[in-house]
Amino acid sequence: MKHVMFVAAESAPFIKTGGLGSVIGSLPGEINKLGVKTSLVIPGYECIRPEYREQMTTLFSFPVKLGWRESMVDLGYLKLHDMDCYFIGNSFYYCGDSPYNDIWLDVEKFAFFCKAVLEMLSYLEIPVDIIHCHDWQTGLLPVFLKTMYQQDPYYRRIKSVMTIHNIKFQGITEIERMKDITGLPDHVFTYDKMEYYGNANMLKGGIAYADRITTVSETYAHEIQTPEYGEGLFQTLYFRRDDLSGIVNGIDWKVYDPETDAYITDNYTVEDFMEKRPENKLALQRLAGLPEDRKTFTMGIVSRLTEQKGYDLLEGTLDDFFNRGAQLFVLGEGEQKVEDIFRRYKERYPGQIFLETAYQDPIAKKIYAGCDLTLMPSRFEPCGLNQMMAQRYGCLPLVRATGGLKDTVKDDGEISGEGTGFIFNRYDKKELFQTLDRAYRMYEDHIGEWNQRIRAGMMEDFSWTHSAKAYKKMYLSLAEE
């Protein structure tokens, strides 16, 4: 196998709005280290970070015919960490200060992106064995590849992989509009392909036409085959179950390292965290303007504040712990109704809550290093990264047993030395309270077991190494078919 090309809507360090950008910014490089050549293609947004736009060269321009329209692409290029990075530039589709707009606009601009990537290959004339597509924005690429390009021997040999990072987002529009935009034939818009309750669904198209489908944790791969989590696609995924696998995400082991992190007050390792982590708690309390006490039970939240994350379960649940003297540190922005939960708590307990709705990486790392517990009571969570980051820093995660949270946190009950955090099962305030109470009592009465869980969590390997090996194995299997 010679070449795997990653195609996505965003990638760090060029442009990142969430977890997708983090994954695409790390995974191709890790796979490259295993001897598989990787490259990257994203849209050439005008809002890509200026220092990278300045480094780009324009390789050439070429026309792309999408439906009845024809537009020009200026193909940007730069090499980053020995990887070829390509940028599909078009001033009409990729202008503005955000990579995403209204779904009505995004459907067309990402349809153009998918077609442009395939057209780009004919001009580059480079051997590509597998195109690895990520999320709904790239869902039309396997569709185009298996319909419009199969007469050409160059394209016929290319395999495609579709990775679902969050099945809630699918790229849906009217069938007639999708036909007008893409020029795709009628047989593509059937129940077993792109048709979705009378509309056209880009993610469903990717699932139906890709040679392999992956998602970002083993548990989530099973969950999305059920009506509860499948967002209307569970039957399609169940039909493709033999081609579906879950490979858990990782985190950048160098970026999230309490031994070298320049943002935290006192660096530490698994050997000396008991002496040094308390200093980071005091520094976090000082930053937040809250009473400084290394014995105070501290809880942290670093997250988008959305309904998916389950923070409605915290309303009315945390009062008991604030009355015991606990503190809460919240960093993240999101939906007004979710943010208001924490604003109300801050009004009731002004000396115990820190709330910052503008995300800042230095504060996030200070929370991981200074809090005892991080709260992730998600309704669903395809993978989640914060629980891995928290464990790396010795901040025990309290999570609901869903998706990647279930796959990356261990809870063995009370005292045995095997746990790395705390898990509750049902989406229920009472069960969350009981689990949080169990964590609090362990912190107060069994600090030895608490520290053992910290130690076990810090020793877990959540680097990209394991994930990259699993992807390589999948690529090799696909290339041999």
Over the chain (481 residues), the average pLDDT of each successive run of 10 is 92 92 94 95 96 96 94 97 96 93 92 98 94 98 97 95 97 97 96 97 98 97 97 97 96 94 97 97 98 97 95 96 98 94 96 94 97 97 96 98 97 74 97 97 95 96 93 92 76
Q: Which residues, including other chains, have CB under 8 Å from residue 449's CB and lie 6 or more apart?
A: 414, 415, 417, 442
Burial (0-12, 13-18, 19+ Cβ within 10 Å), 410: middle
pLDDT at 221: 98
pLDDT at 419: 93
What is the Cα–Cα distance from 398 to 410, expressed in whole angstroms?
Answer: 10
- Token match 């208001």: residue? 340
Q: What is the DSSP letter of 123?
A: H
Q: Which of 413, 374, 416, 412 is nearest to 391 (CA)?
A: 374
CATH topology of domain 273-459: Rossmann fold (3.40.50)
pLDDT at 480: 81
Question: At how many degrees (to 10) do helices 103-124 and 175-182 cross?
Answer: 30
Taking the alpha carbons of 409, 251, 76, 158 in that order, is the dihedral positive or negative?
negative
Q: Which of 73, 97, 101, 93 is nearest to 181 (CA)?
A: 93
What is the Cα–Cα distance from 273 to 447, expressed in whole angstroms?
Answer: 13
What is each CA distance from 440 to 7, 202, 295, 398, in whole angstroms? 44, 45, 12, 11
What is each CA distance from 21 to 18, 121, 259, 267, 453, in whole angstroms? 6, 23, 25, 27, 30
pLDDT at 231: 97
Domain boundaries, the chain: 3-250+465-479, 273-459
pLDDT at 125: 85
Task: Look at strands 212-215 and 244-246 and give their pairing.
Answer: parallel
pLDDT at 415: 56
Domain 3-250+465-479 falls under CATH 3.40.1360.10: no
Query: Same fold for the domain at 3-250+465-479 and the one at 273-459?
Result: yes
What is the Cα–Cα distance from 345 to 46, expressed in whole angstroms?
Answer: 40
Coil, strand or helix at 217: coil
Q: Which residues pair with 61 in a beta bridge?
A: 74
Q: Which residues pair with 396 in a beta bridge?
A: 373
